[in-house]
Every structure is written in C-alpha cells, then in structure tokens.
C-alpha cells in the first residue's frame, strides 16, 4: 500500500495539470470497476460513512468523481479547440454540481 501511495505521489510530482488530465482521459472506468483494489478501498469506506451517517462526505466524494467524469467526457485534449456544445455541456455540468453541493452541504441542514 505504501508503494502505491509513493507511486501516486511521484506521478503527481513529475507531471503538470495537463498530463494529469490526459491520464484521467485515458482511464478506463470499466477496468477500475473490475479492480479488486478499488473494491477493497470503496466498500469499507462507504460502509463506515453510511454507518456513521456522514452523507456530506459521500456527496463531496461523489461530486469529485462526477466532475472527473465530466472533464473526461467533454474537454478536448491539449492543443485541440473546444467546440461550443462541449463547452456548454461542461459549464452546465459544473454549474449543476456546484449548485447541488451548495444546496446539500450548506443550505439544507
């Protein structure tokens, strides 16, 4: 586990933001879902958060992964122009995520 965290830290230290976005763009979500490491991390964490009723943390984590998915699906690779429909989809998705988080995390208590 320590080696995995060290490799993630080395990757983030060696690459800039555009490289990290390109790595997320190449990420195969079906492979991530099939990985046993993913389930060993997600299931105990989700069980603990549900058991202790930490719904705000679950909302924040889900929003983060939805934002990563939004980036992966809409933003073009570096060097290419961004089409207007993709820009509008990205902006509307980001506004919806921000609004939903503001409502669920701060307004509704």
Domains identified in the chain, total number: 1
The three-state secondary structure class of 109 is coil
Domain that holds residue 9: 2-107
Predicted local distance difference test score (pLDDT) of residue 68: 84
Work out the mean pLDDT of the chain and round it to a whole number. 84
Please name the helix (run of DSSP H) or strand (run of DSSP E) that holds residue 15, with its range, or none. Answer: none
Predicted local distance difference test score (pLDDT) of residue 55: 87
Predicted local distance difference test score (pLDDT) of residue 52: 92
Predicted local distance difference test score (pLDDT) of residue 7: 79
Q: Which of 71, 86, 83 is nearest to 27 (CA)?
A: 71
pLDDT single digits (tens) 78-109:
677 888 888 899 999 999 999 999 998 888 77
Q: 26-51 as b/e, with b when 16 or more CB fall inside 10 Å? A: eeeeeeeeeeeeeeeeeeeeeeeeee
Distance (Å, whole) CA 70 – CA 99: 15
pLDDT band at residue 1 using 50, 70 and 90 as cut-offs: low
Distance (Å, whole) CA 97 – CA 25: 20
Check: pTM over 0.75? Answer yes or no.
Answer: no
């Amino acid at each position: 586990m320590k080696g995995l965290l060290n490799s993630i830290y080395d990757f983030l230290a060696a690459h800039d933001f555009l490289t990290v976005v390109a790595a997320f763009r190449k990420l195969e979500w079906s492979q991530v879902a099939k990985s046993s490491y993913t389930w060993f991390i997600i299931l105990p964490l989700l069980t603990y958060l549900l058991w202790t009723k930490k719904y705000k943390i679950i909302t924040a984590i889900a929003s983060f992964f939805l934002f990563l998915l939004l980036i992966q699906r809409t933003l073009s690779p570096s060097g290419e122009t961004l089409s207007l429909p993709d820009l509008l989809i990205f902006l509307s998705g980001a506004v919806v995520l921000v609004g939903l988080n503001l409502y669920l995390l701060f307004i509704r208590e």
